[in-house]
Structure 1
Amino acid sequence: MRRLVIAYSLYVIAIWIFFPLVYPELHTAASRYASIGHAVYFSRLPLLPMLLYIVWKNHRWKELAASLERRLSRLPAAAVFVLILVLLYGVVQLPFRLAGYWNARNEAISVQPFSDWLGEYALSLLLLYLAVTAVVFLSQLLMKKFPKNWWISLWVMLVPCVIFVVYVQPIWIDPLYEDFHHLREGQLRTQIQQLTAEAGIPDATLLEIGKSAETVTYNAYVTGVFDSARVVLYDTTIEGLEQEEVLFIVAHEIGHYVLHHVYWGTAGFLVLGLFLLWMTKRLSAVYLAKRKLQAHQLQAMPLFLLLLTGFQLISQPVSLYVSREMEQQADAYALEHAPDTVAGIRMFQKMQSVSQGDPDPWPIITWLRSTHPPMQDRIKTIKEYTENKQKQ
């Protein structure tokens, strides 16, 4: 364990030497904010798998799990075990979360008071605790009842949970964090309604979210299922961008909805989840046999969480690639449907200026981290589209 902690410590030191000090010198397009953001991200990347590995190997955690199972029934035992685990995770990742918050505040990207940030962090840990406790308890029940095919049963139970998170969270969970209200009447609302009508979603709910108390960045998104689309705009987007620029970003988000990216993403996640659960079942059987443990025992839970987290980490570049492809498709939709395509260039330039992100990260960083194509590539695509259209 000591070697692992030392190795991780050396890794973090190298990350914080390279990105804040060396990377900006080698890649002058990257701002200080973006460079530190990379350092925070890559510092946290292996943290959860490492923590779960230590828990799995540490004899004190084994004794704790065994003691809880002897003294408590299944649900309370799982609740106490997961509570300690989530609190530990919250503590060990807190320095990096604080570094990210400080970085955003120092560069004037975030204006969120520390008390609000801390409250949201605590709420996120609470929701994580409730979710993991439910998953652990349900997994134990299924593993005991279906010792050979629990992974299939667990996947079947995963389907409604994923649907709930993807489709219900924007309506029920997000309001716990944010202040939503209907988009104000005016020309912008009228033109957005024209875009939604052309997209076949004339009854879309148009909302504005108050983010100016937290950040200065621009954003918008579209959520909902079937005909219940919800177009959500940051108030910073409305105030900071020209109307044609706002319409371009809205057209992009409508593109995600029209192209059914949420459905495809959900289907892809479920297929990947089935594969990861199968791999976890096969691999965990080897380690559990060595320790003479049953899958449904609380002592085995860190192993399952470790394997799932590890497999998810390995598959993440593929998920990120799919996300970038979907973003490119949404950009293409916006180019065909936004009233002013050139406004997209101005919008991306302003977004880059305000967010201070890395406009053209190294390919390996894009591969390991980016959900969106590099900003310079997106601007280049619009310029090429405009030039080709003028030649026609």
Structure 2
Amino acid sequence: MTAKWSFRAVFLYLVFGLFVYLYLFYIADTTLPQELKGSGADPETFMNSRELMLSEEYSRIRNLLYFLSVPYEWLFYFLLLVFGVSRTFSRWGEGTSSIPVVQTAIYLFWFYIASYLVIFPFEYLSFHFSKLYNISVQTFSAWMKDQVIDFWVNFLLMVVIISALYWIMRTFQQKWWLVAWLASIPFTIFLMFIQPVVIDPLYNDFTPLQDKELEAKILAIAEKADIPAEHVYQVDMSTKTNALNAYVTGVGANSRIVLWDTTLEALSDDEILFVMAHEMAHYVEKHIYVGIGSYLLMMLIGLWLIAKVMNRMVESNGKEYRIKKVSHISSLPLFLLLSSVLLFAASPLENGVSRYTETRADNYAIQMTQNPDAAVSAFQELSRVGLSQVNPPFLVKIFRYSHPSMVERIERLERFEPEE
């Protein structure tokens, strides 16, 4: 039975991979609508022929790696169960200590080692192609350093989260999903609060914006928008990438507006002011809190569904999955498998909501700056430097794009008429 299920799972993965490859490289249409030819949204107006070719190649490769890596992770979790690897890890933990937290930590250590080794090829391919297409400038040793930091940060967080989750499962057997959700609310807010000042600095150096003249312009927009900002932060990303970015992170007193130093080098002051006004819009319109609220709502629904499905699967096929009961740590791959499937299934809805808030932020920024030319040129440069598809395929857009496509953003901006 184990061999039969494993063969079917691998076969389905290969069929899915073939479909994705054919869709991305032969079926999907990324040509620009005829009416937009020659407009600011036409990549031929701001990319040369080589950049156009590279952007299509790189985008297809990135999208292929994404769509192959997600079900690959599902396959990994499934095989851990049916071959009894998860049960073996749990026995190692139980044989080492009688303390549940220590047992969980030992289980997770071996689980993370196995996960890292199995998923590493996709991580490395992503790094390799970003280097090949001159997006990443990071050395392999520096990249591996970030990988090691990722491993230990995620491991320590998961020891806390999984220990608490399985204690809740054992204590509240019928309503564990509700108790786990209630416990996740303060924990999620706490993580978002400490991320800008504890977690992010592990990877990069954050400093107040060095260009004080530009900072004064940005703070003037912030004052106009009633944002109590005292600093804009820049982060040293030029040692890792040529890509451009800016973002808002954190909650409450730890909220930060951050600019990559690559953005400071590549964009003009007017273009940066538009980007900053866009990021300020997320603060003004409370998008961070909307994001937290929608995330917690989805988590509530997800945990309820996971609890229902896990109970049925363990009752009917617990022996094949080598799981004695839901509340045993050996069921973790099943929990993660169901979580990942639900997150993927919900991503079109989540991305759709995100694209709506990003559109509102664009509208706010252009109303604030009244400079559509700078806004259009900023988006053009973001696309050119990042080798992004201006008009991505439909499935890529709904499953991967948390922002509107560049063709939509630029086309909307070119219809904007500045106020007199």
TM-score, normalising length from structure 2?
Answer: 0.86
Distance 1:285 1:330 in 2: 43
**Structure 2 unaligned spans of 5+:** 1-5, 33-51
Q: What corresponds to 1:83 in structure 2?
A: 109
Q: What corresponds to 1:351 in structure 2?
A: 382
Q: Does 1:162 align with 2:188?
A: yes
Q: Does 1:2 align with 2:7?
A: yes
Q: Does 1:108 align with 2:113?
A: no
**Structure 1 unaligned spans of 5+:** none
Q: What corresponds to 2:37 in structure 1?
A: none
Q: What SS does structure 1 have at the residue aligned with 2:233?
A: strand
Amino acid at match of 1:8: Y
Q: What corresponds to 2:340 in structure 1?
A: 309
Q: What SS does structure 1 have at the residue aligned with 2:403?
A: coil
- Residues 16-52 of structure 1 deviation map (CA, whole Å, 9 limit, x = unaligned): 5664x53699759652111111111111121222211
CA contact (8 A) 2:166 2:327 kept: yes
Distance 1:349 1:63 in 2: 53
Q: Measured at CA, do residues 27 and 382 of structure 1 come closer, stay the same or move farther in structure 2, by a change above 3 Å?
A: closer
Q: What corresponds to 2:224 in structure 1?
A: 198
Q: Measured at CA, do residues 211 and 24 of structure 1 come closer, stay the same or move farther in structure 2, by a change above 3 Å?
A: farther
Q: What corresponds to 1:297 in structure 2?
A: 328
CA contact (8 A) 1:66 1:298 kept: no
Task: Give the drift of 1:191.
Answer: 0.5
Q: Which of residues 345, 358, 378 is equivalent to 1:327?
A: 358
Q: Measured at CA, do residues 25 and 281 of structure 1 come closer, stay the same or move farther in structure 2, by a change above 3 Å?
A: closer
- Residues 186-230 of structure 1 deviation map (CA, whole Å, 9 limit, x = unaligned): 321110010111111233321111111111121111234345542
Q: What SS does structure 2 have at the residue aligned with 1:377?
A: helix
Amino acid at match of 2:372: T
Amino acid at match of 1:351: L
Q: Does 1:62 align with 2:87?
A: yes
Q: Does 1:52 align with 2:56?
A: no
Distance 2:279 2:308 in 1: 40
CA contact (8 A) 2:206 2:235 kept: yes
Amino acid at match of 1:254: M
Task: Give the drift of 1:314.
Answer: 1.3
Distance 2:274 2:20 in 1: 37
Q: Measured at CA, do residues 332 and 372 of structure 1 come closer, stay the same or move farther in structure 2, by a change above 3 Å?
A: same
Distance 1:190 1:339 in 2: 18
Q: What corresponds to 1:338 in structure 2?
A: 369
Amino acid at match of 2:7: R
Task: Give the drift of 1:10.
Answer: 4.8
Q: What SS does structure 1 have at the residue aligned with 2:232?
A: strand
Q: CA RMSD in A?
A: 2.2
Q: What corresponds to 1:118 in structure 2?
A: 144
Task: Give the drift of 1:95.
Answer: 1.5
Identity of aligned pairs, percent? 27
Distance 2:28 2:348 in 1: 24
Amino acid at match of 2:12: A
Q: Measured at CA, do residues 153 and 132 of structure 1 come closer, stay the same or move farther in structure 2, by a change above 3 Å?
A: same
- Structure of higher RCO (CA pairs closer than 8 Å, 6+ residues apart): 2
- Residues 244-267 of structure 1 deviation map (CA, whole Å, 9 limit, x = unaligned): 001000000001111111100001
Matches within 5 A, 1:1-392: 1-12=6-17, 15-16=20-21, 19=24, 21-22=25-26, 27=31, 30-66=55-91, 68-69=93-94, 71-73=96-98, 74-226=100-252, 228-290=254-316, 291=318, 293-386=324-417, 389=418
Count of residues paired in the alignment: 388
